[in-house]
């Protein structure tokens, strides 16, 4: 329980992580809530990955390790998402706007789509989930280790210390990943 609170504090104290998590969640929600746009992104994945299409995951606020999994998974989708917004921009606009006839509503939908596509094409956008994954990975491992029958608290704290201090000896952190 203490580690889940630590992760909550991480997002409260790190404005860059908070904005990165919000942007990533916003992009994922946009894809999931627009079926025609979703299909375009899935088609690019299928082309790039021999027919394999990965799902778009959403983090659960009460299960902090889902943030790690969600953002790690999003990073795996970077190349097809970027390719889709570059190659199929006009199709995404058509899919986003659909059959809307009201000019003001069409403009709002187009602006929303352009902001999401610009975000997906932004290096800064992709750096934030990467930073979040790198920062919360040891916390997630610590949470997992402390739920096991063999509580290895000292090893877990040492691994987290080495990770965040940038210490070149990653043997403890490596052992923590393998559950040694």
Question: pLDDT tens digits for 101-119?
Answer: 888 998 998 999 999 999 9
Total tally of structural domains belonging to the chain: 2
Range of the domain at 159: 148-180
Query: Is residue 94 located within the same domain as residue 24?
Result: yes
Alpha-carbon separation of residue 174 from 130, 136, 140, 159, 179 (angstroms):
19, 15, 14, 8, 9
Tokens of 85: 């917004």
Mean pLDDT of the residues in the chain: 82
Instruction: Give the pLDDT band (50/70/90) at residue 24.
Output: very high
Alpha-carbon separation of residue 97 from 40, 91, 101, 119, 125 (angstroms):
14, 10, 9, 18, 24
Asked if residue 66 is part of any domain, the answer here is yes
Residues of the chain above pLDDT 70, percent: 78
Please give the pLDDT value at position 179: 46
**Phi and psi torsions of 60, nearest 5°:** -105, 125
Query: Is residue 128 located within the same domain as residue 179?
Result: no
Query: Is residue 173 located within the same domain as residue 94?
Result: no
Count CB neighbours of 139 within 10 A: 22
User: Is the overall model pTM greater than 0.85, yes or no?
Assistant: no
């Amino acid at each position: 329980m203490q580690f889940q609170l630590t992760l909550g504090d991480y997002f409260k104290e790190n404005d860059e992580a908070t904005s990165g998590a919000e942007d990533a969640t916003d992009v994922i929600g946009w894809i999931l809530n627009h079926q025609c746009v979703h299909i375009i992104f899935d088609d690019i994945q299928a082309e790039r990955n021999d027919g394999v299409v990965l799902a778009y995951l959403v983090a659960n606020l009460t299960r902090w390790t889902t943030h790690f999994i969600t953002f790690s998974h999003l990073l795996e989708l970077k190349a097809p998402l970027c390719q889709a917004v570059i190659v199929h921009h006009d199709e995404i606009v058509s899919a986003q706007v659909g059959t809307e006839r009201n000019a003001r509503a069409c403009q709002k939908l187009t602006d929303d789509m352009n902001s999401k596509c610009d975000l997906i094409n932004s290096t800064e956008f992709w750096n934030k989930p990467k930073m979040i994954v790198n920062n919360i990975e040891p916390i997630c491992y610590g949470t997992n280790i402390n739920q096991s029958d063999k509580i290895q608290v000292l090893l877990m704290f040492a691994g987290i210390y080495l990770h965040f201090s940038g210490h070149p000896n990653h043997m403890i952190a490596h052992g923590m990943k393998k559950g040694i």
